[in-house]
Amino acid sequence: MRNPAIVLVATQMPENIGAAARAMMNFGLTDLRLVAPREEWPNKRAHDLAGHASGILDNAKIYATTREAVADCRRVYAATARSREMVKEVWPPAEASARILAEAVPTAILFGPERTGLTNDDVTIADAIITIPTAPENASLNIAQSVVVVAYQWFVSAWQQEKESRDNDAAPYAIPGRKLRGQPGTTGPQASPVAHKSEFATKEDLQVLFDHLERELDAIDFWKVADKKPKMWLNLRNIFTRNALTQQEVRTLHGVIAELRDS
Amino acid sequence: MRNPAIVLVATQMPENIGAAARAMMNFGLTDLRLVAPREEWPNKRAHDLAGHASGILDNAKIYATTREAVADCRRVYAATARSREMVKEVWPPAEASARILAEAVPTAILFGPERTGLTNDDVTIADAIITIPTAPENASLNIAQSVVVVAYQWFVSAWQQEKESRDNDAAPYAIPGRKLRGQPGTTGPQASPVAHKSEFATKEDLQVLFDHLERELDAIDFWKVADKKPKMWLNLRNIFTRNALTQQEVRTLHGVIAELRDS
């Protein structure tokens, strides 16, 4: 199992990218992806803040859109404090980490830009939301602090799961890190049952489905009032993203769309 | 019960003090204490980083020494990643938070300067050490990141304990925060049994005891070789600080020292 990718969307300050890389390094994460960073890249200010984590910056992949950044992932979580008008699961970091470990599929965690946070379109890509609990009157963590908390909690949860797995196997001398990576079926203490990992559709599969559906809906002028399309289309996609669709289900839905249009 | 005080010792960069205040505000902590900050105070660079948490900076208390900063506290934890040659309990943040909640006495958490970390003298003041688990090869979190992790974990643990306390009382409509403050005997899930809170000696009590003991040991030239005193004296103090002495025990020790000298 790969550790989750950290996806920083439209980050304004290179310092925050550097600080995020540093936190990732401290907590065993390595896969950094940048969507349209606002300042030039590579960036000296990011490297100054990253310290010993400059290797993570060197290997960071750059994408034009969030969609491309998560195309190879099967699960996506959006880190956001703002409540959205979307029916989507919201997990604190500990529960989200347990689920990511239990799901054991390629996963990305999205963090939005400093001032505005993730757009609704980006949150729609995600299967679920991670919200860091804070004192009610002070919800705004900055992006670097949010990455620290999520990475720390992931590391602690992974370590706990590995320990439990070792204890259960009565193999006290197991090589650290081995069990975690080698046991696809292991579930964390707070994780809900999930589909087998090979069954999840990739985000690219899902996007192809959405493109298909949107094309057909446009063709029949499903939206009637053009102004209403963005909101309607966002709600519609959310129905599918929050279900963790399997590849078989995606194929079925392609069939449904095609059949409906042909009839 | 007061929330724990965050004590930043000899911090070099005012930005880190500002970032720490911001993290404190997000996670419901308010008591910031600065020991000999390296740059002038108040400081604009700290305020720029603190954002909405500038009130915490305005109310921060300044001390010349760590000892004075924690004089009114009954428990002190030192946040440090380096292992010390001291026999002292080391807790990850989750377990430390559970203990702080269970102990329910005025508590301080020490964070050292950026480059060098806490001195052994400062660690000796502490009852126990908090070490944030990190990937083995990358132990160095910066100070602001460490405060984020410790404050986050404290907030989550306090929230969990409050929830459990509410659930146990079958009082689903209890005012949030009330139970936590009103239940001195409540213990967190991972906390060990501790003495009743009113029994702990303050750090000032303990320092008076140490002054007494040092005076007497100097008088009898206990150390023999002057060069060896610092290390011997540090080890000696650690014997007492890691035990969470009660006020009665401190009185007893004063008596023992006085009696030994008189005999």
Residue A43's pLDDT is 96
Chain-chain contact of A134 with B155 (C-beta, under 8 angstroms): yes
Mean pLDDT, residues B206-213: 90
What would the pLDDT profile of B102-154 be if each residue is shown by its tens digit? 989 999 999 999 989 999 999 989 989 999 999 877 667 889 999 999 999 99
Q: Which residues of B touch A138 (CB under 8 A)?
A: 25-26, 28, 52-53
Q: Which of B173, B156, B257 is nearest to B214 (CA)?
A: B257
pLDDT at A173 over 60: no
Residue A130's pLDDT is 95
pLDDT at B24 over 80: yes
Q: Which of A163, A178, A151, A185 is nearest to A56 (CA)?
A: A151
Distance from CA of A86 to the nearest CA of B (A): 25
pLDDT at A243 over 80: no
Chain-chain contact of A52 with B138 (C-beta, under 8 angstroms): yes
Report percent pLDDT > 70 for chain B. Answer: 85
Mean pLDDT, residues B9-38: 96
Tell me what the pLDDT averaged over chain B comes to.
83
B134 class by beta-carbon count within 10 Å (0-12 exposed, 13-18 middle, 19+ buried): buried
Chain-chain contact of B149 with A145 (C-beta, under 8 angstroms): no
Mean pLDDT, residues A122-136: 90
Q: CA B120, CA B53: separation in Å to the nearest integer?
A: 31
Q: A89-93 long-range contacts, Cβ below 8 Å, gap at least 24?
A: A89/A127, A89/A128, A89/A129, A89/A242, A90/A128, A90/A129, A90/A130, A90/A131, A91/A128, A91/A129, A91/A130, A91/A131, A92/A130, A92/A131, A92/A132, A92/A133, A92/B156, A93/A130, A93/A132, A93/A149, A93/A150, A93/A153, A93/A154
Q: CA B62, CA B35: separation in Å to the nearest integer?
A: 6
pLDDT at A74 over 70: yes
Distance from CA of A68 to the nearest CA of B (A): 29
Secondary structure E strands in A125-254: 128-130
pLDDT at A118 over 90: yes
pTM beyond cutoff 0.80: no
Chain-chain contact of A142 with B22 (C-beta, under 8 angstroms): yes
Chain-chain contact of A22 with B142 (C-beta, under 8 angstroms): yes
What residues does A79 pair with on adjacent strands? A111, A130
Residue B189's pLDDT is 31
Q: Which residues of A touch B139 (CB under 8 A)?
A: 26
Chain-chain contact of B132 with A148 (C-beta, under 8 angstroms): no
Give the largest Cα separation in chain B, rounded: 65
Number of Cβ within a 10 Å radius of residue B138: 16
Q: CA A157, CA A149: separation in Å to the nearest integer?
A: 12
Chain-chain contact of A138 with B92 (C-beta, under 8 angstroms): no
Of A70-84, A167-181, B40-54, B234-248, the poorest mean pLDDT is in: A167-181
> CA of B225: how far to CAs of A205, B124, B212, B228, B237, in Å?
75, 22, 20, 6, 18
Give the residue numbers in B contacting A (CB under 8 Å), as ranges: 19, 22-23, 25-28, 51-53, 92, 94, 132-135, 138-142, 145, 148-149, 152, 155-156, 159
ipTM over 0.90: no
Mean pLDDT, residues B12-25: 95
User: For every residue of B3-71, which 3-state class applies, written as one string?
Assistant: CCEEEEECCCCHHHHHHHHHHHHHCCCCCEEEECCCCCCCCHHHHHHHHHHHHHHHCCEEECCHHHHCC
> CA of A144: how far to CAs of A19, A108, A131, A141, A149, in Å?
6, 17, 15, 8, 9
Chain-chain contact of A26 with B155 (C-beta, under 8 angstroms): no
pLDDT at B18 over 70: yes
Q: Strand, coil or helix: what is A80?
A: coil
Residue A47's pLDDT is 95
Confidence of residue A13 (pLDDT cuts 50, 70, 90): very high
Report percent pLDDT > 90 for chain A. Answer: 49
Q: CA A160, CA A187: separation in Å to the nearest integer?
A: 11
B13 class by beta-carbon count within 10 Å (0-12 exposed, 13-18 middle, 19+ buried): buried
Confidence of residue A81 (pLDDT cuts 50, 70, 90): confident
> CA of A182: how far to CAs of A42, A178, B258, in Å?
35, 6, 63
Mean pLDDT, residues B35-48: 96
Q: CA A113, CA A8: separation in Å to the nearest integer?
A: 8
What residues does A7 pair with on adjacent strands? A33, A110
**DSSP annotation of A127:** S
Q: Strand, coil or helix: what is A2?
A: coil
Q: CA B132, CA B130: separation in Å to the nearest integer?
A: 7
pLDDT at A206 over 60: yes
Residue A257's pLDDT is 81
Q: CA A136, CA B177: separation in Å to the nearest integer?
A: 12
Q: Which residues of A touch B26 (CB under 8 A)?
A: 134-135, 138-141, 145
What would the pLDDT profile of B216-233 be if each residue is shown by its tens digit? 888 888 888 889 889 888
Instruction: Give the range with max mean pLDDT: B13-17, B122-126, B162-166, B193-197.
Output: B13-17
> CA of A113: how far to CAs of A9, A117, A231, B23, in Å?
6, 5, 22, 18
What would the pLDDT profile of B145-174 be if each residue is shown by its tens digit? 999 999 999 999 998 888 887 776 543 333
Residue B171's pLDDT is 39
Confidence of residue B88 (pLDDT cuts 50, 70, 90): confident
Confidence of residue A191 (pLDDT cuts 50, 70, 90): very low
What residues does B90 pair with on adjacent strands? B129
A49 class by beta-carbon count within 10 Å (0-12 exposed, 13-18 middle, 19+ buried): buried
Confidence of residue A260 (pLDDT cuts 50, 70, 90): confident
Number of Cβ within a 10 Å radius of residue A50: 25
Mean pLDDT, residues B25-37: 96
Give the amino acid at A62. I
Q: Which residues of A touch B97 (CB under 8 A)?
A: none
Residue A167's pLDDT is 73
Closest CB to B133 among A22, A23, A155: A155
Confidence of residue A198 (pLDDT cuts 50, 70, 90): low
Residue A33's pLDDT is 98
Number of Cβ within a 10 Å radius of residue B247: 15
Closest CB to B133 among A53, A148, A156: A156
Contact A7, A112 (CB under 8 A): no
Chain-chain contact of B140 with A92 (C-beta, under 8 angstroms): no
Residue B239's pLDDT is 74
Q: Which residues of A touch B159 (CB under 8 A)?
A: 133
The structure tokens listed for B201 are 């000696």
Chain-chain contact of B133 with A139 (C-beta, under 8 angstroms): no
Distance from CA of A91 to the nearest CA of B (A): 13
> CA of B83: how far to CAs of B28, B77, B117, B118, B146, in Å?
29, 14, 12, 11, 16
pLDDT at A252 over 70: yes
Contact B111, B6 (CB under 8 A): yes
Confidence of residue B198 (pLDDT cuts 50, 70, 90): low
* B154 φ, ψ (degrees, to nearest 5): -65, -45
What would the pLDDT profile of A85-101 be if each residue is shown by its tens digit? 776 789 999 999 999 99
Confidence of residue B260 (pLDDT cuts 50, 70, 90): confident
Distance from CA of B134 to the nearest CA of A (A): 5
Q: Which residues of B touch A148 (CB under 8 A)?
A: 145, 148-149
